[in-house]
Chains A and B, each alone.
Chain A
Amino acid sequence: MPHDLVLETKDLSKHYGNTHALDGLSFGVARGSIFGFLGPNGAGKTTTFSILCGFVRPSGGEAWVLGQPVGRVRSLGARLSALPQDARFVPSRSVGDSLRYLAELGGLPRHRIADEVDRVLSVVGLKDADGVRGKALSHGMAKRFGLAQAFLGQPELVLLDEPTEGLDPRNAEQVRRVIRELAASATVVVSSHNLTEVQDLCDHAAILSKGKLVTTGSMEELTATDEQVVISLGPGSRDPRPALQGLAFIEDARWDEAGLRLRLDLRLSPKQSPEAAITEALRILIAQNATISTVRRGQALQERFLRVT
């Protein structure tokens, strides 16, 4: 395992009878990154997390977490932290009790436990909910308390399985803010269905489908293409497509009236540079008195995701 990788898998597989939840998965996560883990339902994201946390035994292949093989991840102690999907707090105990128990179990010194629990409860916006019992938690609260336990101590690697699923927009944004802050001192791996969120939050990502890795790379690499450009126009703009009809290199043009976004699919000849083509399109739009808000080359992660999965 290279030193700059905090997590690596090689040909990792997991079979449940005839069902292949993971089928030869190989990828790595570099230290210090916020890594997105994407895939449709049943792609194998949760199974991968479960193997990396030591909850589930792989059927084949190898994986290392912070330099340790997955069979020995417990030796990492509090260096590894995670939000497991579907895990719930003990119903009859208050979440404060559970957090204090988990903090002590994780090796936090006793004199620091009360302050640390207060800190993580504040982080997830539940400072006044210390006494709420596990059985009384709504889905959103259970998720936030789950995040709170993942933020206990100072982990080096944090695995978050669907961290904002079921949260209202305000809480989801709060969690994203916390993840960004956490990334200052830890590597964070986030699995999510929310592609906009992953694109906004992560610097690297892997896309899974049917237990296999489809693609992985930096967010720029995943979304980069010379074949697409998205131009956002200023308020009051009308459909600019008639003005661009004469341009032979535009294969398709789609206009989003609500978002005032024009998406152009380009078909360039070998001699034609994308920069020249985009400049020419913009020149025509400006000549039509259109106001340009932003220009973005490449595709949205969502389009890449839909294309490869």
Chain B
Amino acid sequence: MSDSLKQIWCIARFDLGTALRTKRALAATLLYGLIAMGTGGVLVWLEVKIRTYADTAEGLVRVAATADGWDGPSSLEEVIAFLLGGDKELAAHLLGIPLVVYGFFWVSLTFLPYLIAIVSHDMVNAELRNRSVRFSLLRTSRGAFLSGKVLAQLILLTAVTVISNLLLLAVAWVQLPAFDPGPALLYLGQYWIYTIVFSLCWIGLTALVSSLVESAGLALMLLFVALIGLSILSFHDDFGLLSPGAWKIGLWKPGLEALGSLAAFASFGAVFLAGAWGALRWRDL
């Protein structure tokens, strides 16, 4: 391993140790774990209801379809497609996945950016404020310092999401009599990889703000403003694609579209991280 990689790993380990000692890692795991279990509970209940009434619902849909003047959906798949804005291909794809899995994925895509902001908003500026960064930067480069910090957050998030996904799987397995953990595990694994790439983008944004602003409170406030602003921007007809939020829908789709969205999130992450590196490189410490 090169000296720079050793230093990045050394910084990441120290940061992870700090996260464990300050109970921050525990808080993040609890928060996300509770979201997973809560979401899992609701989704399991929904799935039970859907299975119970599926035939009835489809029957009603068929009856409605035969009625005069009916131009609405004629199957459960079309109902889902209707809810997804008419995307039949996506609806068909999702019908093959347990609701508890893609439901939790939706929750993750919605709340993870905020969780990352809360947990990581002071990843850099905490050391800028008390100037302990000077002790580290006597021995390593600013790039390695930032990389170590980001790696620590990524490892922390990976651990938190793995634990939460396993909790979700356990809830579904215990509560759903017909639940088959094999395929669910595969889909969870796939969505978990998507979640990590998606999170890299938001960790990059958090690193950028944390490198620009010394005050932790101000950094958190700016991050929330940026997250809400980017969400609003994603609905814009002309500039929507400049927001990571616009690429979220692609993560639900099979094949190349999902890969395109993953590439977009990775690119946003790279741009944000380059910005963070530039901010840290050019600032006086």
B135→A87 contact, CB < 8 A: yes
A87→B7 contact, CB < 8 A: no
B135→A89 contact, CB < 8 A: yes
Measured CB to CB, the closest approach of chain B to A151, in angstroms, equals 13
B137 at the interface (CB under 8 A from A): yes
Scan residues 57-108 of chain A and give those whose CB is less than 8 A from a CB of chain B: 57, 74, 77-78, 80-82, 84, 86-93, 97-98, 101-102, 104-107
Known: A92-B18, A101-B10. A77 touches B139 (CB 8 A): yes
A184 at the interface (CB under 8 A from B): no
A78→B134 contact, CB < 8 A: no
Q: Which residues of B contact A54 (CB under 8 A)?
A: 137
B127→A90 contact, CB < 8 A: yes
Known: A74-B140, A74-B141, A105-B10. A149 touches B21 (CB 8 A): no
A97→B17 contact, CB < 8 A: yes
B14 at the interface (CB under 8 A from A): yes
A84→B134 contact, CB < 8 A: yes
A92 to B22, CA, bound (A): 7
Number of interface residues of A (CB under 8 A): 31
B136 at the interface (CB under 8 A from A): yes
Scan residues 5-36 of chain B and give those whose CB is less than 8 A from a CB of chain A: 7, 10-11, 14, 17-18, 21-22
Q: Which residues of A contact B14 (CB under 8 A)?
A: 93, 97, 101
Q: Which residues of A contact B136 (CB under 8 A)?
A: 102, 105
Known: A54-B137, A97-B17, A107-B3. A90 touches B132 (CB 8 A): yes
B285 at the interface (CB under 8 A from A): yes
A101 to B11, CA, bound (A): 8
Q: Tally inter-chain residue pairs, CB-CB below 8 A.
A: 72
A80→B138 contact, CB < 8 A: yes
What is the interface residue range for chain B against chain A?
A: 20 to 34
A81→B132 contact, CB < 8 A: no
A244 at the interface (CB under 8 A from B): no
A98 to B11, CA, bound (A): 11
Known: A93-B17, A105-B10. A56 touches B284 (CB 8 A): yes
A77 to B140, CA, bound (A): 7
A230 to B18, CA, bound (A): 57
Scan residues 109-151 of chain B and give those whose CB is less than 8 A from a CB of chain A: 127, 130-141
A84→B10 contact, CB < 8 A: no
22 A–B contacts, CB within 8 A, in A order: A50-B284, A50-B285, A53-B134, A55-B134, A55-B284, A57-B284, A74-B137, A74-B141, A82-B138, A84-B131, A84-B134, A87-B131, A88-B130, A89-B132, A89-B135, A90-B18, A92-B22, A93-B18, A97-B14, A105-B140, A106-B138, A149-B135
CB within 8 A of A88: which of B21, B132, B140? B132
CB within 8 A of B139: which of A87, A89, A106, A134? A106
A105→B131 contact, CB < 8 A: no
CB within 8 A of A53: which of B17, B132, B138? B138
A296 to B11, CA, bound (A): 54
Q: Which residues of B contact A81 (CB under 8 A)?
A: 138
Q: Which residue of A lies closest to B21 (CB)?
A: A92
Q: Which residues of B contact A50 (CB under 8 A)?
A: 284-285
Could you tell me which B residues sit within 8 Å of A by CB distance? Answer: 3, 7, 10-11, 14, 17-18, 21-22, 127, 130-141, 282, 284-285
A84 to B132, CA, bound (A): 9
A53 to B134, CA, bound (A): 9
A78 to B137, CA, bound (A): 11
A84 to B134, CA, bound (A): 7
A84 to B284, CA, bound (A): 14
Measured CB to CB, the closest approach of chain B to A268, in angstroms, equals 50
A88 to B132, CA, bound (A): 5
Known: A56-B285, A91-B130, A105-B11. A84 touches B135 (CB 8 A): yes
> Other CB < 8 Å A-B pairs besides A50-B284, A77-B139, A92-B22, 12 of them?
A54-B137, A55-B285, A74-B137, A78-B139, A84-B138, A87-B130, A87-B131, A92-B21, A93-B18, A105-B11, A134-B132, A149-B135
Q: Which residue of B lies closest to A81 (CB)?
A: B138
Q: Which residue of B lies closest to A150 (CB)?
A: B138
A56 to B132, CA, bound (A): 15
Q: Which residues of B contact A97 (CB under 8 A)?
A: 14, 17
Measured CB to CB, the closest approach of chain A to B231, in angstroms, equals 33
Scan residues 139-167 of chain A and give those whose CB is less than 8 A from a CB of chain B: 149
A107 to B22, CA, bound (A): 27
B134→A87 contact, CB < 8 A: yes
Q: Which residues of B contact A80 (CB under 8 A)?
A: 138
Q: Which residues of B contact A78 (CB under 8 A)?
A: 139
Indicate the member of B3, B17, B21, B139 with the most A CB atoms within 10 Å.
B139
Measured CB to CB, the closest approach of chain A to B185, in angstroms, equals 37
A104 to B11, CA, bound (A): 10
Q: Which residues of A contact B134 (CB under 8 A)?
A: 53, 55, 84, 87
A138 to B35, CA, bound (A): 42
Q: Which residues of B contact A74 (CB under 8 A)?
A: 137, 140-141
Q: Which residues of A contact B21 (CB under 8 A)?
A: 92-93
Q: Which residue of A lies closest to B284 (CB)?
A: A56
